[in-house]
Structure 1
Amino acid sequence: MHVLIVGAGIAGLTAAIALRHKGIDATIIEQAPQLSEIGAGIQIASNGSVVLRELGLEQAVAAKSVIPKSFDMRDIRNGKLLYVSPLGEEGAQRWGAPLYNIHRADLIEILADALPSESVRLGVHCTGFTQDDKGVTVHVEDGDDLHGHVLIAADGIHSVIRKQLFGEDDVHFSNILMWRALIPAEKLEGIDLDERGNYWFGPGRTLITYWIRPKNLYSILASVPSGEVHRESWTESGDIDELRASFADLEPRAQAMMDQIDTAFLTGMFYRDPIDRWTDRRVTLMGDAAHPMVPFLAQGACQGIEDAWVLATMLEHYGEDNLETALEEYEQRRRPRTTRVQSGARAMVKLVHESEPERIKARNGRWKGMQHIDPMTEATWAFVWDYNVLEEVKRPAGEVQGLSATREDKKMERPESQRAFDMWKSAFTAEDVARGHDGMREGYDRFLTTHFPAPDDLSVENAELGGVEALRVRAAGATAADNRTTVLHFHGGGYMLGSAKGSVEYAGRLAKAVGGDCVTVDYRLAPENPYPAALDDAVDAYRGLVNSGVAPSRILLSGESSGSGLALALALTLKMAGDKQPAGIIAICPFADLTLSGASIKEFAGQDPAANRDTLAFMAASYFQEHEPRDPLVSPLFGDLKGLPPLFLSAVEGESLYSDSSRLLERAREADVDVTMVPVKDSVHVYTLFPFLPETTETLNEISRWARRVTG
């Protein structure tokens, strides 16, 4: 078998080495006349390091790189520490291999030296290809065509092969420019720049800096809004005065470092959107040709390295007689994962380049909250660093986790539950995720209003309760009455997503179930409005409802997911304040422990498309921020439940948050609370949102009977 690879970057070189490691011959075609010292520092995290280790290259990499002790993220103006990701020996033990900071040229040299010189053909410009049932021919400019069994396009973001395969697609500019500079160690003497990731974040700009050759060379990546640099300066050598003007208000240590820059080069930050196909028969894509991504997860090189190992493994496994099948499975294993990483990288870009003071405050508060519940920063990094491709490639292809962090082959037992599962799995697009909480918020409202529109005959009125906006929903044909039961409902969405409007359809079914009204509350959302904003709104809405003439004995609190946690926190607050308690609480699939200590979060990882540890941590930390997450009014699971009204509890066995419900049930019983538990099998998180599920009908019937009992 002979494999042709176009492009001698990190992905292409690693692919050739991995193929030779598997006993497969490969030839690389590279248009550059030599592999020169280009670029600056790059990071090879554990998910890339394990492959280099398997290929016998880690020792050479370690000799020319630096292992940072941590990533230290600071405010660019005052130097205040905002967030720390432990690395060094502690990180290597947790993630299975070290993270290396290295000069790109050093890594390219190590990879090239691992190949016979004749296997890398420099100065050869690929113009296209043709293929048939016997192989692939690569057409070159001013030379003889090359022939092989398969062709791998590793020719970067402007791939010639990708364009021929799938046509022209847009290259997106992020409106961010990146200055790259290298500083010799002797110029940094006396400046406290430890062997860490020394990062600074300011309005719309970042400084990502670290040692790349031990005590020898320091790398700086400085990003700025594109409008701060004149277009005529967008050349390989930028104007240092413009760089300094963009970073004129630095804390002293960062300023001392930046003053030592003599030259820098400037590039735009570009990316492409994920595509639906990489492969056509005997030709496929890898690295930046397949999934060009922004650099703020430092995963461009590592994802190409992962590609290389999977590709080589598939070609070895299927052999020359099944090459097309090998390439199809390679894509099946890689495309869902890289789509998730591409979107995550763009979300990180948005997060670290916030420019408005209130959004910067919210981001920094979220980071503070993450340190409370996630000291190893696993929610940020585990999905990339904790992926050992050497082991993952041995598992069935369908176990790869895509954008929803759910195994691609996960199947439900019934067609109805599969339909709900698939709806959750596709609730957010790659673009939603890339836009951070803004995109996810829009995506969640789109999901709810598209799939669960309110029926035309539903009565919906604007309501204001204690200064809090809400919607009063009444089932068709129902009329107002003094003795009607009123459900005060709090929507889910991790305190970060959701709206009263998005919950109207479900509110209508709740109103019908209890034979009354349902008032769904538009409480303030995190991260702009952290704890206790949502709880304050819940208290004001409850008291406003009571002041409007509804007796507490006719009020049922209700919520799904985080809305259930808010309803429980409201009940605890009312108890402490001496307010009269409502008649009962309906908690569907509650998110009641924002410390994420429930065993089911880990146990059912990859099986729940609606909730996973990474997203739950992001949402939880956005809500409590600098507050203690074990506070019972944040995590009502830890509260004193004694004296609370009757509780109707339901959850799905197999969902990530099931432990929150099972522990709530236990604590409620210990506190002598009148608790009804309805466990559900083969379903999805907050299943009651899905009216077509039989278990939804059954549960609402149970709620109807329970409501009549507790309201008398």
Structure 2
Amino acid sequence: MSKMSKIVETALEKKHREYMDNADKAREHLHERSLEEDEPYKIPKMIYHTKVESKDMFECQMLLFNEVEDCERLVIYLHGGAYVNEIRRPHIIFCDKLAKKVNACVFAPIYPLAPNHTYEETYEIVEKLYMHLLEMNKPIIIMGDSAGGGLSAAFAEYLAVKDLPQPENLILISPWVDITMSGDYDKVEYDPMLGVDGARELGKSWAGDLDPKDYKVSPLFGEVDKLPKTTLFTGTHEIIYPDIVEFYNKLKDNGVDAELNVGEEMTHVYPVYPLVPESKEAFQHIVEIILG
């Protein structure tokens, strides 16, 4: 673990959200979020590598990075936040850098969040976006982190169920693949960010009336044999590390071209943190994967 990574992990521990490992606190957080209106997301003021703008697409605010005619590929990026928290600055920085490095137009939906919304509305938005991108006849990459990584995997399974074309690449950064948190987490020595009981409550809210073990919200339990080339990133300092390894093994057992990248002593979604050296290595690997 690099010195900067340790600094980031210590900072995350100090900001640890109690609602991630306490069910009562999670319900309080959901109540607080339910009182907040769905305000439009304001793009942070900073120096960008690409043109960044907000558009209304498919009844959803969509952030677009590098929307130019000569872009060579298309990326759908689904942000994390336990399905209750909005997109964050590190996500914006990541999407902007990625769009520049691989000459892609990156679409980041500001999708509706729990508890006022469930997975259903987001599926409608992402499906419409995906069908729209298919018409452009360019390589498509679907990727996301944490909850967004789980959503990315689940959506790919959904495409298979509907017998629709798969993206060229599926890239999952610390994907939350089991919102029921039913795995064995005793062997995870440390996680400065996440927990079990609180996360489970947040997951239930996202699922709504759906069984939380349904593949649409917990892709660990879905059919994976038709998934495209899939690249996963995870750190050993995250509670869901065992679930991600299990999902990877399931992909391999079903003949999927899958690759697992494990960051020793790395925390949740470490590839998204711009100042961490290990993040830069992971980002470069993502670029190489996309460029083939």
TM-score (normalizing by structure 2): 0.85
Residue 238 of structure 1 corresponds to: none
Is 1:587 matched with 2:179? Answer: no
> Which of 31, 45, 52 does residue 460 from structure 1 map onto?
52
Distance of aligned partners of 1:538 and 1:593 in 2 relative to their CA distance in 1, 3 Å threshold: same
- Residues 425-464 of structure 1, C-alpha deviation per residue, up to 9 Å, x if partnerless? 2336789x6962365799xxxxxx9xxx663234211133
Question: Counterparts of 2:243 and 2:98 in 1: how far apart (Å)?
Answer: 23
Question: 3-state SS of the aligned residue for 2:158?
Answer: helix
Secondary structure of the 1:603 match is coil
State the partner residue of 2:108. Answer: 520
Q: Which residue of 2 aligns with 1:604?
A: 188
Contact kept? 1:557, 1:586, Cα under 8 Å: yes
Alignment-mate amino acid for residue 54 of structure 2: N
Distance 1:441 1:676 in 2: 38
Letter aligned with residue 14 of structure 2: S
Residue type of the alignment partner of 1:603: K
Structure 1 residues 612 and 462, CA gap change in structure 2 (3 angstroms): same
Q: What is the rounded CA distance, in whole Å, between the counterparts of 1:468 and 1:513 in structure 2?
A: 26
Q: 1:430 and 1:668 mapped to 2: Cα distance?
A: 33
User: C-alpha distance in 2, partners of 1:420/1:560?
Assistant: 18
Any idea what SS the aligned residue of 1:464 has? strand
Question: Which residue matches 1:471?
Answer: 63
Q: Based on CA coordinates, which of the two structures has the bigger radius of gyration?
A: 1
1:89-108 map, 5 Å? none
User: Does the CA-based 8 Å contact 2:234-2:263 persist in structure 1?
Assistant: yes
Structure 1 residues 663 and 428: alpha-carbon distance in aligned structure 2, compared to 1, 3 A threshold:
closer
| Counterpart-to-counterpart distance in 2, 1:441 and 1:653 | 33
Cα gap change, 1:482 to 1:554, in 2 (>3 Å): farther
Separation (CA, whole Å) in 2 of partners of 1:678 and 1:663: 13
Determine the structure 2 residue equivalent to 1:673. Answer: 256
1:467·1:541 contact (CA, 8 Å) conserved in 2?
Answer: no
C-alpha distance in structure 1 between counterparts of 2:56 and 2:141, whole Å: 18
* 1:687 matches 2:279: no
SS of equivalent to 2:172: strand
* Aligned partner (choices 636, 645, 648) of residue 219 of structure 2: 636
The 1-side partners of 2:267 and 2:171 are apart by 18
Alignment of 1:423-434 (within 5 A): 423-427=11-15
Aligned pair in 2 of structure 1 residues 514, 676: CA closer, same or farther (>3 Å)? farther
* Structure 2 spans left out of the alignment, 5+ residues: 20-24, 36-41
CA–CA distance in structure 1, aligned partners of residues 147 and 242 of structure 2: 14
Q: Deviations over 1:24-68 (max 9, x none)?
A: xxxxxxxxxxxxxxxxxxxxxxxxxxxxxxxxxxxxxxxxxxxxx
In the superposition, relative to structure 1, how do residues 509 and 599 fare at CA in structure 2: closer, same or farther (>3 Å)? farther
- Give the one of 567, 576, 597 matched to 2:152: 567
Counting only pairs closer than 5 Å after superposition, residues 654-673 of structure 1 correspond to structure 2 as: 654-673=237-256
Q: How do residues 690-701 of structure 1 correspond to structure 2 at under 5 angstroms?
A: 690-701=273-284
Residue 233 of structure 2: SS of its match in structure 1? strand
SS of the residue corresponding to residue 160 of structure 2 reads helix
Deviations 1:616-674 (A, max 9, x none): 11211111133211211111111111121110111001310101210111011111111
Is the CA contact (8 Å cut-off) linking 1:524 and 1:537 kept in structure 2? no
1:564·1:588 contact (CA, 8 Å) conserved in 2? Answer: yes
CA distance in 2, matches of 1:589, 1:414: 19
Relative contact order (alpha carbons < 8 A, sep ≥ 6): 1 or 2 greater? 2
Deviation at 1:500?
7.1
CA change 1:430–1:466 in 2 (3 A) is closer
Residue 75 of structure 2 aligns to a residue in which SS?
Answer: strand
- Shift in alpha-carbon separation, 1:612–1:511, aligned structure 2, 3 A: same
Distance 1:418 1:670, change over 3 A: same
Separation of aligned partners in 2, 1:576 and 1:652 = 30
3-state SS in 2 of match to 1:455: coil
Q: How does 1:238-387 map to 2 (within 5 A)?
A: none
- Distance change (3 Å), C-alpha of 1:538 and 1:681: same
Post-superposition shift, 1:615? 2.3
Distance in 1 of aligned mates of 2:120 and 2:245:
26
Larger mean CA deviation between 683-692 and 527-536 belongs to 527-536
Distance 1:627 1:441, change over 3 A: closer
Partner of 1:651: 234
- Which residue of structure 1 aligns with residue 39 of structure 2? none
Taking structure 1 as reference, are residues 464 and 671 closer, same or farther at Cα in structure 2, changes over 3 Å only? farther
Q: What's the CA shift for 1:502?
A: 6.7
* Residues in 2 aligned to 1:599 and 1:510: alpha-carbon distance in whole angstroms: 34
Question: Which whole-Å deviations, capped at 9, do the CAs of 1:540-596 have from their partners, x for residues lacking one?
Answer: 22223334x3x2x51100100110111111111122222222111110001001121
Letter in 2 for 1:437: L
Large movers: runs of 4+ above 4 Å: 428-431, 438-442
* Structure 2 counterpart of 1:626, from 209, 221, 236: 209
